[in-house]
Amino acid sequence: MEKLIIVGSGCAGLTAAIYAARANLNPLVLEGRQPGGQLSTTTLVENYPGFPDGIDGPELILNMHRQAEKFGTRFSYAQVTDFEPGDKHIRIKTDDEWLETRSLIIASGATARFLGLDNEEELVGHGLTSCATCDGAFYKNVPVCVVGGGDSAAEEATFLTRFASKVYLIHRRDQLRASKIMQDRVFANKKVEPIWDTMVTKYIADEKGEMRAVRLRNVKTNEERELEVACVFVAIGHDPNTKAYRGKLDMDSEGYLIPKNSVGSNVRGVFIAGDVADRVYKQAVTAAGMGCAAALQAEKYLSGAER
Ligand code: NAP
């Protein structure tokens, strides 16, 4: 029987682990299939307090991991597939076993969305990706495109100009959702060409099964055209990783967990933190804050239950 299991090893999960381990709760972190969460695939993080010159996302998350480990957190790569609430303990199923725990923090984050077009699955890894930091360097001196209009799209477009000959930024509206500073940066970069009011309607592969071009449709004029690109970087947001909790924990129509009293849930002993329950801010620092609060609440719950 575990005292506390933390699902997820992004900013929220690792902050919860640091607090819980320091409180001697001996937490077990189930890291899932993307250890380190979204920060592990970003570039420079400029808005995490305490780093006036910025810090690389993977380095930031590695530091948090080391900090959690230093206080005795245990880690496993397991992925949660099922969940059973109970009066005295909670059961969660990983890929190959059921685990029992007295309390649980769900910080399983969110996964990148794709466009849902034909031949998407075959093309992932062959010129279709959601991670510029992972795959950008493979596309040197060739044209690529980024789809989306938020901070991620702006950040990825700017980053990709280090490698690509040209970066088309394809957005479905005529203005970006990204913050002002990101917009200024992207518009100041001569290698980036925005394509407004436009959707990608088809991926076109070459005879080797690698991305060769995309079909575009202007949503205002309905005009269609083909654009040659060697890679499509999709940055259209994320879906919360909550499948294992469906029908058992309260969630909204898009699958975000609905917090009760800040970081609680509708099941006693289950707490939630980070992007899995945050459809508004989705920042590293807000996720860390929720992770801290969830660990403090779990500690309170366990000490009350122990009496
Ligand atoms: P986001 O802010 O939700 O933006 C998603 C973008 O994709 C929007 O522009 C949206 O268009 C577009 N989109 C959504 N579905 C689409 C579809 N089916 N087809 C075409 N376009 C679609 O997501 P994000 O950029 O990943 O950012 C998520 C959060 O992380 C935000 O809070 C952001 O501030 C934060 N973030 C911060 C930084 C940073 O500060 N360094 C970096 C990255 C992310 P519409 O605009 O028309 O809705």
For the domain made up of 2-112+238-306, the CATH class stated in words is alpha beta
Catalytic annotation present for 278? no
Q: What is the mean pLDDT of residues 123-135?
A: 90
- 305 pLDDT more than 80: no
For ligand 1, residues with CB inside 6 Å are 47, 115, 147-153, 155, 172-173, 177, 235-237, 282
Choose the catalytic residue: 131, 197, 239, 250.
131
- 266 pLDDT more than 80: yes
CATH number for the domain whose boundaries are 120-234: 3.50.50.60
Catalytic annotation present for 53? no
* Mutate which of 219, 236, 254, 278 for ligand 1 pocket (most atoms within 8 A of beta carbon): 236
Are the beta carbons of 248 and 128 closer than 8 angstroms?
A: no
Same fold, 2-112+238-306 and 120-234: yes
- Protein residue with least CA distance to atom 30, ligand 1: 282
- 125 pLDDT more than 90: no
Instruction: Quote the ligand 1 centre to 86 CA distance (angstroms).
Output: 37
Q: What is the mean pLDDT of residues 281-296?
A: 96
- Residue spans of the domains in the chain: they are 2-112+238-306, 120-234
Instruction: Quote the ligand 1 centre to 284 CA distance (angstroms).
Output: 15
- 57 pLDDT more than 60: yes
Q: What is the mean pLDDT of residues 54-62?
A: 95
Instruction: Quote the ligand 1 centre to 35 CA distance (angstroms).
Output: 22
Model-level pTM greater than 0.95?
no
Instruction: Quote the ligand 1 centre to 270 CA distance (angstroms).
Output: 29
Of the candidates 107, 115, 157, 108, the one whose C-alpha atom is nearest the C-alpha of residue 132 is: 157
Predicted pLDDT of residue 306? 43
Q: What span, in angstroms and rounded, lies between the C-alpha atoms of 142 and 185? A: 21
Catalytic annotation present for 131? yes
CA end-to-end span of the chain, whole Å?
17
Which of the residue ranges 120-134, 149-163, 190-204 would you say has the lowest mean pLDDT? 120-134
- 7 pLDDT more than 80: yes
- 211 pLDDT more than 90: yes
**pLDDT tens, residue by residue, 66-121:** 999 999 999 999 999 999 998 889 999 998 899 999 999 999 999 989 999 999 98
Of the candidates 300, 132, 142, the one whose C-alpha atom is nearest the C-alpha of residue 210 is: 142
Residue 258 phi/psi, 5-degree rounding, is -100, 110
Residue 64 phi/psi, 5-degree rounding, is -65, -40
